[in-house]
Each structure stands twice: as C-alpha cells, then as structure tokens.
C-alpha cells in the first residue's frame, strides 16, 4: 500500500510540474511556446487541453508534429476515428514510419471495435428475437391453456346442463307416469261404476225406471245399516217387485 501511495503522489507531483511549465509557456504566447505548452499538457495526461492547443498551431515546421501528437492524444482519450483522421492529415504533409505504424495500429483497433460492436448488435438482435419467440411461445401456451380451460369449463357446464335436463326429464316422466296411472285408475273406477249401474238398471222393472226411484247402495264407509232402513227398503221393494239380491248385504 505504501508503494502505491508513493507512486500516486509522484505522478501527481509530476503532473503539477508539467501543468506549471505549460502555464509558463502560455504566458509567452508564441507558436513554439504554445506547442511546448500543449506537449506539457499531453505529458500531464490532460489530453483535451493538449488537443485544443495543438489545433491553434499553424506554423509549417510545427504542423506535422502538432498533428502527430494530437492524433496520439485523440487515441489515448478513446476517440480512434479522430486519431485516424489527424494521422492521415499528417501523412499528407510528409511520410513518416512512426505515423504509418500508428495509423495501421489504429485501423486494427477500429476493426476490432467494429467487430465487437457488430457482435454485440447481433447478440442483442438474437436475444431480442429469442425473447420475442419466448414471449410468443408463452402467449401461445397461455392461449392454449386458456382454450383448454374454456373447453373444460364448457364441457363441465354442458355435462351439468345435460344432467339437469336429464333429471328434469326423469322428473317430468315420473310426473306424467303418475298422472297417467291416476287417470287410468279413475277411468277404471268410472268404468266399474258404470258397469255396476248398467247391471242394476237391467235388474230394475220398467215401473221403477219410469218413476226413477233411488235405490239404496251400500256405502264403503258405513259398514252396518240400521234395521229400520232395511225394513223400509224391503217394503219398497215388495211393492215394486224387486229381487231380494238388491238388498244391502251385511259385512261378515
């Protein structure tokens, strides 16, 4: 840790020295002094200040060096495109092996950077495409699940409705059957009563039919009849010449 602190302190001290020198050169104000000030800012790693000073230099014998150093400042600051442009301008002034080497190196770095950016874009595009596919697949799955659930619910509701309808049909059938059975019973009873009346009418004499005398018929509820009523009906029957079989019989 002590070594690192010492190294950082030394760098800061050196930067301060370079900045102080640059300020002294700027006070002079000549093209050579401005060039020296730009170099001091470059050494202090204040690349933006150095670039601004290099751009002010128009002296012919300093122009190539100013462009060369400005290209390096652009490169160190991360602006490789500007570094490439400034080196091309410098090589138009004169050919230089160092400038050509730096230009080739910057072009390689730009290619790598472009390839990386293209790969990133492709990967981003692929990821977007995958995400869209996954989203579409999820949506399809959700729709299919919804459709399945809807079908299940519809089938269940249909089954329930069919059961209800079937139950209602059975109830209605049972009711109809009960009604029909009751009606049949009533009809049978009516037919029996009618048959009994016909038989009684056949046994009546013509005088009784004309006079329309009511004949006693035994009630189901009253099992026994009084002797007085029996005698009364016996007298009536004797006068009308009825058969004794029409008298109400005693229940054993």
Q: How does residue 6 score in pLDDT terms, banded at 50, 70 and 90?
A: low
pLDDT tens digits for range 14-72: 778 888 888 888 888 899 999 999 999 999 889 999 999 999 998 889 899 999 999 99
User: 240: closest CA among 251, 228, 250, 232?
Assistant: 232
The stretches of 204-246 forming alpha helices (DSSP H) are: 206-211, 227-240
Q: Alpha-carbon distance 14 to 236, whole Å?
A: 160
Domain boundaries, the chain: 2-95, 205-252
Query: pTM (2 decimals)?
Result: 0.48
82 pLDDT higher than 50: yes
Contact predicate 110/84, CB 8 Å: yes
Structure tokens at 55: 């751009």
Q: Alpha-carbon distance 37 to 50, whole Å?
A: 8
Roughly how many angstroms between the first and final C-alpha of the chain, as a whole number? 134
Contact predicate 76/47, CB 8 Å: yes
With tokens 């049949």, the residue in question is: 184
CATH number of 2-95: 1.25.40.10
What's the mean per-residue pLDDT of the chain? 75
Q: Mean pLDDT throughout 161-174?
A: 74
pLDDT tens digits for range 196-213: 666 666 555 554 444 444
pLDDT of residue 101: 93
Q: Alpha-carbon distance 248 to 233, whole Å?
A: 10
């Amino acid at each position: 840790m002590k070594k690192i602190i010492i190294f950082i302190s030394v760098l800061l001290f050196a930067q301060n020295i370079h900045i102080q020198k640059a300020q002294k050169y700027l006070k002079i104000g000549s093209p050579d002094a401005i060039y020296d000030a730009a170099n001091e800012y470059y050494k202090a790693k204040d690349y933006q200040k150095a670039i601004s000073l290099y751009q002010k230099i128009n002296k012919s014998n300093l122009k190539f060096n100013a462009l060369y150093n400005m290209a390096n400042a652009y490169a160190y600051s991360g602006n490789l495109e500007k570094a490439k442009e400034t080196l091309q301008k410098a090589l138009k002034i004169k050919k230089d092996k160092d400038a050509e080497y730096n230009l080739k190196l910057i072009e390689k770095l730009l290619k790598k950077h472009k390839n990386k950016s293209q790969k990133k874009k492709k990967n981003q595009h692929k990821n977007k495409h995958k995400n869209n596919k996954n989203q579409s697949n999820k949506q399809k799955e959700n729709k299919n699940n919804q459709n399945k659930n809807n079908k299940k619910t519809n089938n269940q509701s249909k089954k329930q409705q069919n059961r209800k309808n079937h139950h209602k049909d059975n109830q209605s059938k049972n009711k109809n059957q009960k009604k029909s059975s009751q009606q049949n019973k009533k009809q049978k009873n009516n037919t029996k009563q009618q048959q009994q009346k016909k038989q009684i009418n056949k046994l009546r004499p013509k005088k009784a039919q004309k006079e329309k005398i009511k004949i006693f018929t035994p009630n189901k509820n009253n099992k026994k009849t009084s002797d007085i009523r029996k005698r009364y009906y016996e007298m009536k029957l004797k006068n009308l010449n009825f058969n004794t079989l029409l008298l109400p019989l005693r229940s054993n």
